[in-house]
Structure 1
Amino acid sequence: MKKYPFKNILTLSFFALSVGFISSCTKDTDGSPQIGPGNPVAEAIKPDSAAGGTVLTLTGTGLGDIRSIVFEKNNVPAGFQPTLNTDKAIIFRVPEDAAGGTQNITFTNSAGAKVSVQFKVLAFPSVSDVSNYNFTKGSEITINGNNLDDVASVKLTGTNDAATIVSKTKKQLVIKMPATQVNSATLDIVNGTGLFKTTQEFVNLDKALQIFTDGYGEGFADGSWGDAGAISSTQFKSGAKSIGKNYQKGNWHLINFTNWWPTVPYSTDYKYLSVWIKGASEDYSLYITTDASKAGFGNYVDANKLNVKAGVWNYFKVKLSDIDFWSAGKSLQQLGFRIQGPDKQDEVFYFDDVILVK
């Protein structure tokens, strides 16, 4: 067995202790460059305008010790990774919730020294859903989406007919619709970033053929099979009334809007049938049927099927050329919505804004 002199053992022990002591005294860091705070100077930011989530680069000098980045509007902080900093560059992203428009971005180091650069956040308006697609002069529509808090104007596309802004937040805009001569239009929404055109199209009820809105349109009346339609002032989508129809169990009922005189003469001017339907206790299908169709009144045509979700208002805008609705030359006297069943129990549906749209 090999022997080690006692003096060598002491030397090795002292060396190990010394290394351990030195290691324990080394300063822990977050991985950021070990650069002391200086006088930060900004030279350029690229790009100089962008939407939320975009990567930006600030170049300059004295930037290695930056500890916070804040977008001026609403004091929105930007996240960044200090380990990517250098004395001459910082990489970070535009916050997703940054407010739109031109503003300063302020960079602050650990000593409180600041530098600011001007930047334009691109936050175009967006629309996810709306409270209604039909309007008359003065009716209010609620628009849900994003970047709506700095909306400056809303107009019907292709016109100078401007809606009145009633209220606005980042996620919601309430407008009062203007008087207009157009049959229907999308909306031009302008905020601090620019113009957004909705994909949603809004229908002017005053220019449509009204079959039922708050009451029966001129010449129209109830001709339902089974239980008659009943006007309701508690259930409605627009205005203050709708019409309800009780479809009895197993009877294959239909609600029928009739115009025996003067009837509705055939016209290629009408492009769409539009209706709001509030669903029953479960999902059902209703079939559009007319006496001017090829199949004849009361029949079930697959192309004419509307899938109605339970318990909510469902919006339908159906292109007439896509369904069996109106044969050339025939006058329209009956428009119905028929059900197969219901098999379990009676079911009530409500109908509002039944219209033909040019």
Structure 2
Amino acid sequence: MLIASCEKEAKPLSTASSNPAANKIEPGQGAANALLTVTGSGLGAITGIWFEKDSVEVNVNPNLNTDNAILFRIPADAVPGQQNILFKNSAGVEFKVPFTVLGLPAITTVSNYNFTAGAEITLTGKNLDDVTKVLISGAATELTVVSKTATSLVVKMPASTALSLFKLDITNAAGTITTTQEFVSIDNAYAVFLDGYGAGWDNGSWGPAEISSAFAKSGTRSFKATYGKGGWSADGFANWSPGMDNSAGYRYFSFWVKGADRDLTYYLTADKKAGGDYGNSDKSTPIVVPANVWTYYKLKIEDIGLWATGSPMQRLGWMIQGPNDGDAVLYFDDVIFIK
């Protein structure tokens, strides 16, 4: 005797329609990984979904698809902006739904890392036109948003802060990011040169150097240093008394420099570096200075050995063996130490 058994064929959750109609998508905008629900009629048997910009595909789960609805998440690599979401069912019929992908704020460049109380700084990047809040990271201090576009955000720095160095938390409709850029309160820094010499500091250059109003990164003046052709020159600053002691807990040495008419490499020099006295041949800390633009440097104290042979430090600057192809003029600004 033979006994036969059979299983009832599973009924599909949905079937393809020749005339699908998407009536609503909720929510109408969202960021990566947000769950979306499309409702309507004839929405069954969806086999493909993709976001129009860059044709970013969605992972379709048939268990979340009925004749009247389909649920799916925004892919992590969906391109922000207004676009269509495209759908295709197993019958090859396509339809689309308009949607706005929200993007997290992204900051690529800043007008300055350093600020004084109440100064305005421009942040450049993308997805900035819907920013609603800017905070000092880890604190409750909120910055005033002066203006905003899709690619720029102007913020007013706080009138006072106990912090020397901090990042920013920026929030828009997609969420919150913390900037990779760190901002420095000049008011809480140790100044070698700002718009003039810091307390105890003066011109310590071998070659021609002076305070100049020709260019400035912050304020109205910078320190102009001329390196003569064919020479060996160290230009910078001196603090003969009392000097700068290595006991204040500073973490960074920072400065802006505007380059000469061609790219050149200089070397940080100081009288207490391990390589010898100020202006010697020590090349342990190279500083590559691009031509004609302001460039920001923030060097870890532990990496540059300014007090390697003792304390206090009395001379600090930048040395070059040459330049051999013509004079070079640099402008230094915001020469500071940061806690």
TM exceeding 0.5: yes
CA deviation digits over 1:129-167, x for unaligned, max 9?
A: 111111111111111111111111111112222221111
- Secondary structure, in 3 states, of the residue corresponding to 2:162? coil
| TM-score normalised over the length of structure 1 | 0.72
Structure 2 residue 193 is matched with structure 1 residue 212: yes
Structure 2 residue 323 is matched with structure 1 residue 338: no
Q: Which residue of 1 aligns with 2:243?
A: 263
Q: Which amino acid aligns with 2:202?
A: A
Q: Which residue of 1 aligns with 2:212?
A: 232
Structure 2 residue 330 is matched with structure 1 residue 349: yes
Asked if the contact 1:163–1:175 (Cα under 8 Å) also holds between the matched residues in 2, the reply is yes
Distance 1:223 1:189, change over 3 A: same
- Consecutive unaligned residues of structure 2, counting only runs of 5 or more, are 1-15, 45-50, 57-65, 88-94
Percent identity over the alignment?
Answer: 44
Alignment equivalent of 2:278, drawn from 287, 297, 302: 297
Asked if the contact 2:143–2:157 (Cα under 8 Å) also holds between the matched residues in 1, the reply is yes
Q: Which amino acid aligns with 1:165?
A: V
Q: Which residue of 2 aligns with 1:146?
A: 126
How many Å apart are 1:192 and its aligned residue?
Answer: 1.5
How many Å apart are 1:168 and its aligned residue?
Answer: 0.3
Q: Which residue of 2 aligns with 1:11?
A: none
- Consecutive unaligned residues of structure 1, counting only runs of 5 or more, are 1-32, 65-70, 72-76, 108-113
Q: Which amino acid aligns with 1:207?
A: N
Q: In structure 2, how many angstroms separate the alpha carbons of the residues matched to 1:48 and 1:220?
A: 57
How many Å apart are 1:176 and its aligned residue?
Answer: 1.0
How many Å apart are 1:234 and its aligned residue?
Answer: 2.6
Q: In structure 2, how many angstroms separate the alpha carbons of the residues matched to 1:348 and 1:80?
A: 51
Q: In structure 2, how many angstroms separate the alpha carbons of the residues matched to 1:143 and 1:241?
A: 23
Structure 2 residue 265 is matched with structure 1 residue 282: no
How many Å apart are 1:256 and its aligned residue?
Answer: 2.2
CA deviation digits over 1:292-319, x for unaligned, max 9?
A: 2222211233331111111111111001
- Secondary structure, in 3 states, of the residue corresponding to 2:245? coil
CA-based RMSD: 3.8
CA deviation digits over 1:231-284, x for unaligned, max 9?
A: 222311111111111111011222120111221122250111101011111111
Q: Which residue of 1 aligns with 2:3?
A: none
Q: Which residue of 1 aligns with 2:293?
A: 312
Q: Which amino acid aligns with 2:165?
A: S
Q: In structure 1, how many angstroms separate the alpha carbons of the residues matched to 2:43 and 2:280?
A: 75
Distance 1:39 1:319, change over 3 A: closer
Structure 2 residue 263 is matched with structure 1 residue 321: no
CA deviation digits over 1:186-228, x for unaligned, max 9?
A: 111111222110111111111111000111111111021021x
Q: Which amino acid aligns with 2:177?
A: F
| TM-score normalised over the length of structure 2 | 0.76
- Secondary structure, in 3 states, of the residue corresponding to 1:260? coil
Asked if the contact 2:110–2:122 (Cα under 8 Å) also holds between the matched residues in 1, the reply is yes
Q: In structure 2, how many angstroms separate the alpha carbons of the residues matched to 1:173 and 1:40?
A: 37
Alignment equivalent of 1:125, drawn from 105, 108, 111: 105
Q: In structure 1, how many angstroms separate the alpha carbons of the residues matched to 2:85 and 2:21?
A: 17
Q: Which residue of 2 aligns with 1:195?
A: 176
Q: How many residues align?
A: 297
The residue correspondences of 1:74-223 to structure 2 (distance < 5 A) are 96-98=79-81, 121-178=101-158, 179-223=160-204
- Secondary structure, in 3 states, of the residue corresponding to 2:235? strand
Q: Which amino acid aligns with 1:145?
A: G
- Secondary structure, in 3 states, of the residue corresponding to 2:244? coil
CA deviation digits over 1:169-196, x for unaligned, max 9?
A: 1111011110211010011111122211
Larger Rg: 1
